[in-house]
């Protein structure tokens, strides 16, 4: 068995920080897993960075399951968390339970993530009591971008900060095993992290969170439509790929590719016989 939710809880207990990264396909999952990342999120950000939608809202359950399966095939050790897409869990608890179950049954994930706090607590409780580990997600919840009026930092006023603290506590009580805090002031994220027993995973929420999550394409410089302030670029693979492609184009044109080492051959006598026959 690979990483479990107990391992993640124990990491918080011994103050070991938790690095989480998104992955959406077999190859990237293999790389992330081999690097020793303990938690892979198959995020609904795949809508933007893989499928080219302009928000996460159009992402469907079938798309999420398709990509989660690919990630599961590439993962040996990491805990896989499947992100529940917009309207897959909001309409009814029954539907939420059914869709969460699909991530484990069909997708090969070990847990799901959903957005929302107090209002989602009952749904989380039902999932947890059905054997489905749930990661909460509060603060900036991108599926509510229309309600929030844009992608904005959350919890800046006293009222909003108190509400976020209540959301965190409600999710903990409902049995969530961890909590994503997105775009939350660092000092508020620290207070939440100190006051809940479950690990907090920050994205734009400062260094006091128990872990951090980054979007694969953002941190590796593969997605340039927009780069959020909280994304740190650890590599510029987009540029590396572009210059490799430029080299490929020029080598095909000047015939330096393919070389002998990339070609297949038949014996000279077979070739001679062939030429005689087709003459």
For the annotated catalytic residues, the residue numbers are 182
Q: Nearest to residue 201, comparing CAs of 264, 137, 256? A: 137
Q: Is the dihedral of CA 152, 57, 116, 193 positive or negative?
A: negative
In 10 A of CB 239, how many CB atoms? Answer: 11
Distance in Å, CB of 43 to ligand KIV, minimum:
2
Least distance to ligand KIV, CB of residue 14, Å: 24
Beta carbons of 82 and 37 less than 8 angstroms apart: no
140, 154 Cβ separation under 8 angstroms: yes
- At residue 139's C-alpha, the angle toward residues 146 and 235, to 5°, is 95
**Torsion from C-alpha of 144, 149, 153, 159, nearest 10 degrees:** -90
Which residue intervals of 38-119 are DSSP H helices?
Answer: 46-49, 61-74, 93-102
Taking alpha carbons only, the member of 197, 147, 266 closest to residue 13 is: 197
Q: Which is nearer to ligand KIV, 125 or 141 (CB)?
A: 141
Residue nearest to ligand KIV (CB): 43
Sequence-distant (6+) residues with CB within 8 A of 173 are 121
Could you tell me which residues come within 8 angstroms of residue 229 by beta carbon, excluding any fewer than 6 positions away? 204
What are the residues binding ligand KIV (CB under 6 A)? 22, 41, 43-45, 83, 180, 182, 203, 213, 215
- Contacts for 117 with CB less than 8 Å, ≥ 6 apart: 136, 138, 163, 164, 166, 167, 168, 170, 171
Helices (H) and strands (E) in the chain, counts: 12, 8
């Amino acid at each position: 068995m690979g990483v479990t939710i107990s391992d993640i809880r124990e990491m918080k207990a011994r103050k070991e920080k938790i690095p989480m990264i998104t992955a959406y396909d077999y190859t990237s999952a293999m790389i992330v897993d081999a690097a020793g990342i303990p938690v892979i999120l198959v995020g609904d950000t795949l809508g933007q960075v893989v499928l080219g939608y302009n928000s996460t809202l159009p992402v469907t359950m079938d798309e999420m399951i398709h990509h989660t399966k690919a990630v599961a095939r590439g993962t040996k050790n990491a805990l896989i968390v499947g992100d529940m897409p917009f309207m897959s869990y909001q309409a009814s608890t029954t539907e939420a339970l059914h869709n969460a179950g699909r991530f484990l049954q069909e997708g090969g994930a070990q847990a799901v993530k959903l957005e929302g706090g107090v209002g989602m607590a009952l749904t989380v409780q039902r999932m947890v009591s059905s054997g489905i580990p749930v990661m909460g997600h509060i603060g900036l919840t991108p599926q509510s971008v229309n309600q929030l009026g844009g992608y904005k930092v959350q919890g800046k006023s006293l009222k909003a900060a108190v509400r976020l603290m209540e959301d965190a506590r409600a999710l903990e009580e409902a049995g969530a095993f961890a909590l994503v805090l997105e775009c939350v002031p660092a000092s508020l994220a620290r207070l939440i992290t100190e006051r809940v027993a479950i690990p907090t995973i920050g994205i734009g929420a400062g260094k006091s969170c128990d872990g951090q999550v980054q979007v694969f394409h953002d941190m590796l410089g593969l997605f340039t439509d927009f780069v959020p302030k909280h994304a740190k670029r650890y590599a510029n693979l987009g540029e590396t790929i572009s210059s490799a492609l430029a080299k490929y184009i020029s080598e095909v044109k000047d015939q330096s590719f393919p070389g002998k080492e990339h070609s297949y051959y038949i014996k000279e006598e077979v070739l001679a016989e062939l030429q005689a026959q087709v003459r």
